[in-house]
Amino acid sequence: MKRLFPRLLFLLAFAAPLVLLNRPAGAVRLRQAGWVSVRTGNFLVEGGADEAELRRVASQLEAYRAAFSRLLSGEYFDAGVPTAVVVFPDDAAYAPFKPRIGGHVARSVAGYFQPGTDVNYITLARDGDLARDPSTLLHEYTHLLVNNHFSAAPLWLKEGLAEFYSTARLSADGRRLTLGEASARRPRELRTRELLPLKTLLTLDQTSPVYQDPEQRGLFYAQSWALVHYLSEARGGRGGALARFTDILAEGAGVEDALRQAFNLSVAELEAGLAAYVRFGRYRAGVEEFGRPLDFDAQTSARTLSEAEVAARLGDLLLHTDRDEDAEAYLVRAVALDPKLALARVALGALRLRQNREAEAREHLRVAVESDPRDHLAHHLLADALNREGAADAGQLTPKEFEERTEAIRAELRRAIELAPRFVESYKLLASVESERGDRYEEAAALLARAQTLAPHRADLALLRAQALMLGGRLEEAQRLAEPYAAAGQDERLRAQAAALVKRIQARREQAAAATREANELPPGSDAPAQPCDMPARGGPQYKRLRFEGAQVCGHLAEIECADPGVVFRVETASGATLRLRAEDMRRVRFVTYTAAVKTGTVSCGPREHADHVLITYRSPRDDKQPFDGEAVAVEFIPEDWNP
């Protein structure tokens, strides 16, 4: 399964150095005793802690989610991707699962957030009373909220917002939320260090040498927090300017434009203002008053996890952090302990897909679907496995087998969408199937439009939709959709993809315009190419330039018969004759449509619901003994008002 490249976002704590526990594959040992799973309406909290404590953590997350929902738009709260919180019993148990920075274990990490297209993970070690001091939990939860709204946010903004919200505190009655309290260490670090140049801070990412250096990384966190704190105070930041600034960035604007629009500040003014703000060190907390108490479902359910379930959860976590070898050891162990455990089978299926072992993936995922028919991810990944297998052996399938495999893939994805209508990846994969397997470009564009309503800031969805519109002939719409992403956006790779797509659309528009000009210039005399259909026009017939070589007939396509091997097109001509034209493989026949009434993606075996008007090109049969009138080359769907 294709997963997001890990963006590990860290909260650094002052902890004693630890040694990573390297475990060879097959030598998994679990401290699984006492692992508990607690579920609420929006969170799954699992870990090696007391059930009552995990219930408090889960309830606390629900409370803060309700509080933040009073301040932030709904785009921050993505219900389509579940959130799993893993609480390790202590730092020693956490050590083998800590992330790496620059190839080295980040030993001082107290927690991290790992986004995914199918599940988001928040992990942390139980260190004292999590309910009394939820700073680490809130830091990582803020990463989740920001990722939902603006996954391409610059690192300083992600970490600055996470630090800013990590000290949020709710009053006991749920009517007051305090924001922006300064922790002890961030102001102290800023007082004793020289600030990073603002240009460095704004462009730094996790691969930067500054971030790789533990001492500089601590300064980066402190300064990012101070910058967000300053913007929250500056020129109406707490009145909505900070949220507007984030929204403008999410729409693809650069930092300078966003600063000017939201705060009327230049980068130079911001740098001077931040330096003065840090020098004075007056970090005021703000208070949000709620007119009514927070309303959220505090109900929780809990159960003890089996050893297999713990192994499956930890294996899936390792898989999401690209630790494939370690993940495999845990997942194989989980399947050995419980062969019908859906979580283990789904994760192992995803791993096999990543390893291009599609047949093995399919078998794991079939077991997962049988074990838990309501697991939408099992259906989604099974469709992915079938699709990849079909692409690999497409040349060996008959058209009928190809159609049957395609329909099986569609059925799995429709079921996945039925079970989880907000899970965007199922719409995306089904759109890909409709485009690549069936040439159903209108259906693909509609699916991607639905996905965009669920994830409006996903540039990849917009570009895929633009491509589907282009392939379906809706060139103007496609160009309108793609152009903004070519001109702006935080992700350089996506900007390049958008620019390339715009060029392709423009080339197609030019080709279409040239073809129209050529068609209009053809004289209706003897020098015009012979053809069985022509286009009507006010001043007389216009001739469509021929695209394919061979004999041609104008008529109605009544049926496509599935033969073994191949297909047979049954065409009823204007003279009343019936032609049966064979093709060894439907995919070798060119399908073109010149009418919005017909989408080439609807081409499949069986009687046609409507006998479509076609111009069909064919070659003479190879010998007179064949029970066919010819070999089909191309089928062009044309409007009914074209003259036979």
Under the banding of pLDDT at 50, 70 and 90, the label for residue 605 is confident
pLDDT of residue 518: 60
pLDDT, mean over the chain:
84
Do residues 203 and 227 touch, judged by C-beta distance below 8 A? no
Q: Are residues 259 and 171 in the same domain?
A: no
For 5-24, the pLDDT digits (tens) are 333 333 433 332 223 334 43
- pLDDT given at position 25: 36
Q: Is the distance from CB of 118 to CB of 88 less than 8 angstroms?
A: no
Is 398 within a domain? no
pLDDT of residue 117: 92
Give residue 253's pLDDT band: very low, low, confident or very high (50, 70, 90): confident
Q: How far is 353 from 494, CA to CA, in rounded Å?
A: 24
In a domain, 510, yes or no: no
Computed from CA positions of residues 489, 492, 496, 498, in that sequence, does the dihedral angle turn out positive or negative? negative
Angle at 121 (CA atoms; ends 118, 123), nearest 5 degrees: 165
Does one domain contain both 172 and 200?
no
Give the domain range for residue 612.
Answer: 551-637
Say how far apart CA 396 and CA 416 lie, in whole Å.
28
What pLDDT sits at residue 8?
38
The verdict on 177 and 189 lying in the same domain is: no
Model confidence pLDDT, tens digit, residues 89-129:
988 899 999 887 767 777 778 889 999 999 999 999 887 55
| pLDDT at residue 330 is higher than 60 | yes
- Residue 60 pLDDT more than 60? yes
Q: 255: helix, coil or strand?
A: helix
Note the pLDDT of residue 592. 80
Same domain, 38 and 170: yes
In a domain, 254, yes or no: yes
pLDDT given for residue 442 in this prediction = 92
Q: What interhelical angle do 459-471 and 424-438 show, nearest 10?
A: 20
State the Cα–Cα distance between residues 318 and 341, nearest whole angstrom: 18
pLDDT (tens digit, 9 = 90+) per residue, 187-203? 888 988 899 999 999 99
Please indicate, yes or no, whether residues 163 and 246 belong to a single structural domain of this protein.
no
Shared domain for 103 and 240, answered yes or no, is no
Order of strands, sheet of 83-88, starting from the edge strand that comes earlier in the sequence:
9-12, 109-114, 120-125, 83-88, 44-47, 36-39, 301-304
Specify if 275 maps to a domain: yes
- Residues pairing with 121 in the sheet: 84, 114
**CATH number of the domain to which 573 belongs:** 2.40.50
Q: Report if residue 519 sits inside a domain.
A: no
Cα-only R_g, the chain: 30
Dihedral angle at the C-alpha atoms of 203, 208, 210, 215, nearest 10 degrees? 120
- Tell me the pLDDT tens digit for each residue of 129-177: 565 678 899 999 999 999 988 888 999 999 999 999 999 999 988 899 9
**CA angle, 477 then 481 then 483, to 5°:** 115
Q: Where are the beta strands (DSSP E) in 447-516?
A: none
Residues 135, 242 share a domain: no
Q: What is the structure's pLDDT at 129?
A: 59
Mean pLDDT: which of 84-88, 573-577, 605-609, 631-635 is highest?
A: 84-88
Q: What is the DSSP string of 549-611?
A: -SEEEEEEEEEEEE-SSSEEEEEEETTS-EEEEEES-GGGSEEEE-STT--GGG--SEEEEEE
Residue where a domain terminates, one of 238, 255, 284: 284
Residues 47 and 146 in one domain: yes
Highest mean pLDDT among 51-55, 123-127, 513-517, 611-615: 51-55
Rounded to the nearest angstrom, the gap between the alpha carbon of residue 527 and the centroid of all alpha carbons in its chain is 54
Using CB atoms within 10 Å of the CB of residue 254, give its burial: 0 to 12 exposed, 13 to 18 middle, 19+ buried. middle
Q: Which of 271, 305, 339 is at the close of a domain?
A: 305
Same domain, 166 and 299: yes
Q: Which amino acid type is present at position 597?
A: A
Kindly tell me the burial class for residue 120, based on how many C-beta atoms sit within 10 Å of its own C-beta (0-12, 13-18, 19 or more): buried
Which residue, 305, 335, 357, sits at the end of a domain? 305
Residue 23 lies in a domain: yes
Residue 391, beta-bridge partner list: none
Give me the mean pLDDT over the 479-502 stretch: 87
Of 611, 618, 609, 613, residue with least CA distance to 590: 618
171 lies in the same domain as 74 = yes
H or E stretch covering 291: none
Within a domain: 503: no
The total of structural domains in the chain comes to: 3
Cα(444)–Cα(436) distance, integer angstroms: 10
Co-location of 93 and 140 in the same domain:
yes
With bands split at pLDDT 50, 70 and 90, how would you rate the model's confidence at 377? very high
Query: Per the domain annotation, does 497 fall within a domain?
Result: no
Same domain, 137 and 35: yes
Maximum pairwise Cα distance, the chain: 96
As a 3-state breakdown, the chain gives helix, strand, coil percent values, each rounded to 5, of 50, 15, 35
